[in-house]
């Protein structure tokens, strides 16, 4: 499978390997949607388990965006990863899997990563007017949007 994908996407797939028995591949942002589509249509990865991100502030491309896929037919998992810089967007997987909708919204809520082609990219867990994205590493653990708290809860601080 990996050779098939590598043959098709060439150097767009930077790394495809296994760690602790789990397969993963790192694809370039420009082709990651096509990789996901190929995995779904040609390799039977029909179930999108999870979409999430990891923040590495010291890196030039700060965010890892991850798709965890599963194939019912093969009973296999695959993690697809891509790296994006601050301000860059990731392709939305909603056209491939409907269930990606809320997962991407959560990712946007927590990291501020925009998903291109998402039908309704709004915050999901935090209030719509909240400022900041809590799962970024530069967001403190007791930090909060004081202004929002003041306006909406009528108190000086939630802490």
Partner 1 sequence: MPGEKSEQNPLAVEHLEQAPAEKTYLDSNELILNMGPQHPSTHGVLRVILKLDGEKVLGTECVIGYLHRGVEKIAEHRTYAMFNPYVDRMDYVAAVSNGLGYCEAVEKLMNVQAPPRANYIRVILTELNRMASHMLWLGTHALDIGAITPLFYTFRDREEILKIFEKYCGARLTTHAFRIGGCLYETYDGFEDDVTKFSNFVEPKLGEYETLLTTNRIWLERTKGVGYISAADCKALGVTGPVLRASGVKWDLRKAQPYAAYNDFEFDIPTGQNGDTYDRYIVRIAEMHQSLRIIRQAVKAIPEGPIMAKIPKVLKPPVGEIYHSIEAPKGELGYFIVSDGSTQPYRVRVRPPSFVNLQALDKMVRGQLVADVVAVIGTIDIVLGEVDR
- Give the residues lining the site for partner 1 (CB under 8 A): 19-20, 22, 46-50, 52, 54-55, 66, 68, 72, 75, 77, 79, 97-99, 101-103, 106, 110, 119-120, 122, 124-129, 134-135, 139, 141, 148, 151-153
For the record, the structure tokens of 45 come out as: 């990865």
Report the alpha-carbon distance of residue 30 to residue 131 in Å, rounded: 29
How many CA within 13 A on the CB side of residue 21?
1
Q: Which is nearer to partner 1, 8 or 23 (CB)?
A: 23
Tell me how far, at minimum, the Cβ of 11 lies from partner 1, in Å. Answer: 23
Q: How far is CA 78 from CA 1, 27, 97, in A?
A: 11, 12, 15
Q: Which is nearer to partner 1, 8 or 37 (CB)?
A: 37
Name the burial class of residue 35, with classes exposed (0-12), middle (13-18) and buried (19+) by CB atoms within 10 angstroms of its CB. Answer: buried
Tell me how far, at minimum, the Cβ of 48 lies from partner 1, in Å. Answer: 6
Q: Which of 61, 78, 58, 60 is closest to 69 using CA atoms? A: 78
Q: Which is nearer to partner 1, 77 or 114 (CB)?
A: 77
Q: Which is nearer to partner 1, 6 or 77 (CB)?
A: 77
Tell me how far, at minimum, the Cβ of 7 lies from partner 1, in Å. Answer: 26
Distance of CA 145 to the CA centre of its chain: 24
Q: Which is nearer to partner 1, 63 or 91 (CB)?
A: 63
Tell me how far, at minimum, the Cβ of 90 lies from partner 1, in Å. Answer: 16
Cα Rg of the chain (Å, integer): 18
């Amino acid at each position: 499978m990996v050779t098939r994908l590598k043959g098709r996407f060439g150097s767009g797939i930077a790394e495809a390997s296994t760690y602790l028995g789990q397969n993963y591949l790192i694809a370039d942002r420009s082709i990651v949607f096509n990789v996901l589509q190929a995995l779904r249509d040609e390799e039977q990865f029909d179930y999108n388990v999870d979409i999430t991100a990891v923040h590495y502030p010291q890196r030039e491309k700060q965010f890892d965006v991850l798709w965890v896929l599963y194939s019912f037919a093969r009973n296999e998992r695959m993690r697809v990863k891509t790296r994006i810089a601050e301000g860059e967007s990731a392709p939305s997987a909603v056209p491939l899997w409907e269930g990606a909708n809320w997962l991407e919204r959560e990712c946007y809520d927590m990291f501020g990563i925009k998903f291109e082609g998402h039908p309704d990219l709004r915050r999901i867990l935090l209030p719509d007017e909240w400022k900041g994205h809590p799962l970024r590493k530069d967001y403190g653990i007791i930090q909060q949007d004081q202004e929002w708290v003041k306006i909406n809860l009528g108190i000086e601080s939630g802490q």
